[in-house]
């Protein structure tokens, strides 16, 4: 909830006029700070379990087997100011609270980049 929304809610609920600056000071005094919302983690619990199982099953691979592996990754870069993100009031230890996550939505103003690397170098 934004500070302006909180002030409006207080006016409607209690009939009191409270300034945004006073509201910010009170929130800070209660131990909260204004943070950029974190993106929701992509790995679910089941994905994490599968990753660990895969890693354990490949512990005994020889270097010759690892040389046949092609590692890939992709990333999305925002090309406009649209990735500023939602701001949330939270305590430092609440960083991984799902209510403080940014909802990730695909935007038209982004570029996806794909890359790979192997034992003999990076991909073209």
The pLDDT averaged over each successive group of 10 residues in the chain (124 residues) is: 81 88 88 74 86 96 94 81 61 74 60 90 81
- Rounded to 10 deg, the angle between the 20-29 and 3-14 helix axes is 100
Read off the pTM: 0.42
Indicate the DSSP class of residue 31. Answer: T
CB 97 within 8 A of CB 32: no
CB 58 within 8 A of CB 120: no
Q: What are the tens digits of pLDDT across the range 62-84?
A: 999 999 999 999 988 776 655 45
């Amino acid at each position: 909830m934004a500070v302006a929304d909180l002030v409006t809610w207080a006016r409607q609920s209690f009939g009191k006029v409270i300034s945004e600056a006073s509201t910010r000071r009170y929130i800070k005094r209660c131990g909260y700070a204004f943070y950029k919302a974190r993106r929701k983690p992509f790995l679910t619990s089941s994905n994490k379990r599968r990753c660990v199982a895969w890693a354990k099953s490949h512990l005994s691979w020889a270097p010759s087997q690892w040389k046949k592996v092609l590692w890939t990754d992709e990333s999305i870069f925002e090309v406009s100011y649209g990735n500023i993100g939602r701001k949330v009031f939270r305590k430092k230890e609440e960083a991984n609270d799902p209510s403080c996550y940014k909802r990730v939505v695909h935007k038209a103003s982004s570029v996806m980049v794909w890359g790979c690397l192997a034992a003999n170098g990076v991909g073209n």
